[in-house]
Amino acid sequence: MRLGTMLGWLAAVSLAGAACSSPNSGNPTGAGGGASVATGAGGGATVSTCDGLAKVVCDKLDACAPTVIELLYGSVAHCSERLALGLCASSAGVDFAACGTDYATLSCDAIFASDSAPAGCVSTNAAADGAPCGDDAECKSSHCVKGTDPACGTCEAKVAAGGACGMVDQVCESGFTCLADTCTKLKPPGDACAATDECSGAHVCIGGKCGAPPTEGEACAQDIRCSPFEAIFCSPKTNTCKAVGLANVGESCGYDMAGDKITACKVSDCAVDDKCVAPLKDGDACMTGPNQPSCEAPAECLQGKCTPPMADTCK
C-alpha cells in the first residue's frame, strides 16, 4: 500500500466501518524516535521525514473521526507507527513538508470527499499511463489497475466528466462519481439532489438537498447514513442514529437484534462466533476469504503471509 492510498485509506475506513467514533484518544507524541515534527511559523506542523508525516496524518484523522484510530490502532502513537511502514517504503519523490502542510489544513469533510492524495503529497516520480504500478499513488492519473496479480498492475487514465463508467476498472476523475454509468459531478451542500450518492463527501440527500448527515438521536434511513464523525449507526428498528459500543479482544461483538445495538471491535476482528479476535501480526501465516482473521493494518495477506508495505517492486 503506497502513499496516496495510505493517506486516503484511513479516512475511508470510517465511512465503510458503520460510521463509528469515540472520545478523542489524545495527542501523544510521534511514533518512535525517528519522527520529525516541528512547529512552523504559522503554528502548523512542519515535517521532514516519513515518520513525521505519519503522525500528522494520524493526528488529523484523530481530530476528525477518532474511532478510525481507536478501532484500527488503539492510539495515535500506534497509528503513526503502522502508517509509517507504508510511507517510509514508498515516499520517494514526496516533499514531506508540503504534504504535511496540505494534509493538516484539509477540512474533515475534504478528507472524506477526496479519492486522491492532496497536491503536495503527489510524488514527482509518478508514472504515465501504461507504466507498471503497485498502487494508485505511483500513477500520474492516481489509478493503478490490477488484474490477477494482487501486487502489480498498470497505470490507466480515469474517466473524464460525462464519460461512460460502470465497469470494474473504470474510475471517474476526482470530484465525480459514476451515476447511471456516466461520470457525474458530485454536489456540494445546498444543491438539489434525488439520492445521497449525488452528494460530495459525507453529505447526504435530505429533503431534496445535499446537507450534513444526521447525528445521534436524529432520523436516518438506508440512503441517509449517520455521521461518520461520531460513534453512531442507523437503527433498523427506530430509523434513528444510535451510539455504537466498543469491545476488546475476547468480548462479544456485532448486532444485538433484541437490544437493537451494535458493538464494534477495537484493534481486532468480529469473528463468526461474535467474539473479537486479535489481528494477525506481520509475518504470520494468513488466508484470504470470509471469516478469516485479518492482518494488522496496513499489512496485507500476500502469498499466504501477512506482508507490510514494501518499496516498489513492480517496475
DSSP character string of 23-87: S-------SSTT--EEE-TTSSEEE-SHHHHHHHHHHHHHHH-HHHHHHHTSSHHHHHHHHHHHH
CA distance 176 to 182: 9
CA distance 94 to 213: 34
**Structural domain contains residue 150:** yes
| Nine cell digits for residue 59 | 493526528
pTM of the model: 0.73
Q: 97, 120, 143 — which closes off a domain?
A: 120
- Asked if residue 111 and residue 7 are part of one domain, the reply reads yes
- Asked if residue 111 and residue 155 are part of one domain, the reply reads no
Q: What is the largest CA-CA distance in the chain?
A: 55
- Asked if residue 86 and residue 38 are part of one domain, the reply reads yes
Number of domains in the chain: 2
- Pairing relation of β-strands 204-206 and 144-146? unpaired
- Asked if residue 152 and residue 72 are part of one domain, the reply reads no
| From 35-49, 222-236, 251-265, 275-289, the region with the lowest mean pLDDT | 35-49
The gap from C-alpha 243 to its chain's centroid, in whole angstroms, comes to 21
**Structural domain contains residue 286:** no
* pLDDT band at residue 204 under the 50/70/90 scheme: very high
CA-nearest of 110, 117, 80, 114 to 95 is: 117
| Nine cell digits for residue 259 | 437490544
**Structural domain contains residue 139:** yes
- Asked if residue 101 and residue 65 are part of one domain, the reply reads yes
**Structural domain contains residue 53:** yes
| Nine cell digits for residue 83 | 502508517
- pLDDT, mean over the chain: 80
| From 2-16, 219-233, 235-249, the region with the lowest mean pLDDT | 2-16
- Asked if residue 22 and residue 86 are part of one domain, the reply reads yes
CA distance 120 to 164: 30
CA distance 220 to 203: 13
- Asked if residue 108 and residue 11 are part of one domain, the reply reads yes
Query: What's the rounded mean pLDDT across residues 156-166?
Result: 92
Q: Which residues contact 80 (CB under 8 A, 6 or more apart)?
A: 30, 31, 35, 51, 54, 55, 58
- Asked if residue 105 and residue 35 are part of one domain, the reply reads yes
Q: How far is CA 286 from CA 66, 110, 190, 289, 307, in A?
A: 28, 35, 47, 10, 10
The partner residues of 245 in beta bridges, in order of sequence, read: 263
Query: Which of the two residues, 50 and 34, has the higher pLDDT score?
Result: 50
Q: 99, 120, 141 — which closes off a domain?
A: 120
| From 103-107, 200-204, 214-218, the region with the lowest mean pLDDT | 103-107
**Structural domain contains residue 247:** no
- Asked if residue 73 and residue 23 are part of one domain, the reply reads yes
- Asked if residue 137 and residue 43 are part of one domain, the reply reads no
- Asked if residue 154 and residue 106 are part of one domain, the reply reads no
- Asked if residue 33 and residue 106 are part of one domain, the reply reads yes
User: What is the pLDDT at residue 33?
Assistant: 33
Query: What's the rounded mean pLDDT across residues 217-244?
Result: 91
**Structural domain contains residue 56:** yes
Q: 100, 120, 140 — which closes off a domain?
A: 120
What totals of helices (H) and strands (E) does the chain contain, helices first?
Answer: 6, 18
CA distance 213 to 202: 7
**Structural domain contains residue 68:** yes
Q: How far is CA 125 from CA 83, 122, 264, 281, 312, in A?
A: 21, 9, 39, 31, 12
32 is in which domain, residue-wise?
3-120
pLDDT at 86 over 50: yes
**Structural domain contains residue 240:** no
CA-nearest of 280, 269, 298 to 17 is: 269
CA-nearest of 34, 145, 173 to 91 is: 34
Query: What's the rounded mean pLDDT across residues 75-81?
Result: 92
User: What is the pLDDT at residue 282?
Assistant: 94
| From 55-59, 83-87, 260-264, the region with the lowest mean pLDDT | 83-87
Q: Which residues contact 233 (CB under 8 A, 6 or more apart)?
A: 18, 19, 20, 226, 241, 242, 244, 262
CA distance 190 to 202: 13
